[in-house]
């Protein structure tokens, strides 16, 4: 098929393209991973997201933004979608959207909350709830690149059942040299857990993060209140605010 030589390259994230669901799997009781096949996917950098657009038969449209969970790999991307009660888009994507169905996506977009494997600085990832998704893409991209950059991940979840990617993270922490994973439970801990359920605090970030002197790049992703708390803690612990990159998930109406 003939194509114009130049147009499209610069603006490759701008146009809507039709992706197809090729696989889906349950992550938790309220979250599902969607594997999409996207023709001519240009690849992405971990931390980037896509916009998903749904159209009803009468032309009504709804649009939401989702972080990409997977590392770049050919024409496939994975989105992990958390169900928003009374939402409009996430219940559709979890309950109705089926293997073989098409969906419109735009992206990859976002050039700031991204990790580039060529950056040698140590990395601290701090996730609150579904904020793990773009950080998981970084963990996966690190492995895919064979990177030895030291990573630490602090993952705050309500209960052990709410953790996404738990098996994979356990395996990566064991097999991928230089990746440490620690959890903070806010409502309910596993049996025998050394500390009581609590919200993330200075002690968690201090003991499971990196000292500021190592000048790590910090990526913090989660609900707005969580992100504000963690960013304030990091700056109070001496981290340069320019190396603390944040992404906030709001109550999106999802």
Judged by beta carbon, residue 210 or residue 249, the one nearer another protein is 249
Q: Compute CA distances 131 → 69, 141, 155, 218, whole Å.
A: 10, 17, 9, 14
Judged by beta carbon, residue 37 or residue 104, the one nearer another protein is 104
Name residue, tokens 């903070």: 184
Burial of 11 (0-12, 13-18, 19+ CB in 10 A): exposed
Contact segment (CB under 8 A) with another protein among 10-18, 24-32, 175-183, 198-206 equals: 10-18
- One symbol per residue from 208 to 237: x for binding another protein (CB under 8 A), - otherwise; what is it? ----------------xx--x---------
Q: For the chain, list the strands marked E by DSSP.
A: 16-28, 31-37, 49-55, 61-67, 76-82, 102-109, 123-128, 151-157, 179-185, 217-223, 244-249
Element at 230 (helix H, strand E) = helix 224-236
- Answer yes or no whether residue 99 interacts with another protein by CB under 8 A: no
- Answer yes or no whether residue 111 interacts with another protein by CB under 8 A: yes
Q: Among 30, 73, 75, 106, which residue interacts with another protein (rule: CB under 8 A)? A: 106
ω into 224 cis (within 30 of 0): no
Q: Among 32, 49, 83, 172, which residue interacts with another protein (rule: CB under 8 A)? A: 49
Q: Among 1, 10, 118, 196, which residue interacts with another protein (rule: CB under 8 A)? A: 10
- Answer yes or no whether residue 62 interacts with another protein by CB under 8 A: yes
- Answer yes or no whether residue 41 interacts with another protein by CB under 8 A: no
Residue 187 Cβ, how far from another protein at the closest point, in Å?
18
- How many Å apart are CA 108 and CA 106, to the nearest integer? 7
């Amino acid at each position: 098929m003939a194509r114009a030589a130049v147009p499209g390259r610069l603006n490759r994230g701008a146009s809507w393209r039709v992706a197809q669901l090729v696989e889906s799997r349950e992550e938790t009781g309220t979250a599902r991973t969607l594997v999409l096949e996207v023709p001519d996917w240009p690849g992405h950098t971990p931390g980037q997201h896509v916009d998903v657009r749904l159209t009803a038969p009468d032309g009504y449209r709804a649009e939401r933004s989702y972080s990409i969970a997977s590392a770049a790999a050919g024409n496939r991307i994975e989105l992990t979608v958390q169900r928003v009660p009374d939402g409009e888009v996430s219940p559709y994507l979890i309950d109705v959207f089926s293997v073989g169905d098409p969906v419109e996506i735009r992206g990859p977009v976002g050039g700031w909350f991204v990790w580039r494997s060529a950056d040698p600085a140590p990395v601290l990832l701090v996730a609150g709830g579904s904020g793990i998704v773009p950080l998981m893409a970084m963990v996966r991209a690190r492995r895919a690149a064979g990177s030895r950059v030291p990573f630490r991940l602090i993952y705050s979840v309500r209960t052990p059942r709410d953790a996404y990617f738990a098996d994979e993270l356990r395996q990566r922490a064991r097999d991928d040299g230089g990746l440490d994973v620690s959890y903070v439970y806010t409502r309910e801990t596993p049996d025998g857990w050394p500390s009581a359920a609590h919200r993330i605090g200075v002690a968690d970030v201090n003991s499971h993060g990196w000292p500021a002197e190592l000048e790590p790049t910090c990526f913090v992703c989660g609900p707005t209140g969580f992100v504000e708390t963690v960013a304030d803690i990091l700056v109070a612990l001496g981290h340069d605010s320019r190396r603390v990159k944040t992404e906030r998930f709001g109550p999106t109406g999802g």
